[in-house]
Amino acid sequence: MAELGVERVFIEKISSNNANRRESKRMLDHIREGDMVVVAGISRLARSTRDLLTIVDNLSHKNVGLVSLKENIDTTGPRGRFILAIFGALAELERANIQSRQRGGD
């Protein structure tokens, strides 16, 4: 992250829904207009497509961009926002499949 010029890092150490993610909330409260949020992957930012799009909408209203390193997405342009929605849906599907396999013992 230092190579990317990231000044402040927020690390979430629990796997939970967005309502219980303290560091994510701290990060969202901390950001200011013109900031850029950099995440390793969109699955680290949100647990569902709805949550992801809500977070991105909130960032957009604050004039804050989002970059996801794993998916190579930058939401400062329309293509990045479109691709983000697609990857968000895929991440939600993958998470649901993992949970289903865990419940089924697969």
Torsion of CA 30, 36, 40, 44, to 10 degrees: 50
CATH number of 2-104: 3.40.50.1390
pLDDT digits (tens, 9 = 90+) for 77-95: 889 888 878 877 887 888 8
Contact 80, 74 (CB under 8 A): yes
Indicate the pLDDT class of residue 54, thresholds 50, 70 and 90: confident
Contact 87, 74 (CB under 8 A): no
pLDDT digits (tens, 9 = 90+) for 10-21: 887 766 555 567
Which residue, among 51, 61, 54, 70, has the nearest Cα to 31 in the 3D structure?
A: 61
Contact 95, 66 (CB under 8 A): no
pLDDT digits (tens, 9 = 90+) for 55-72: 888 898 899 999 999 988
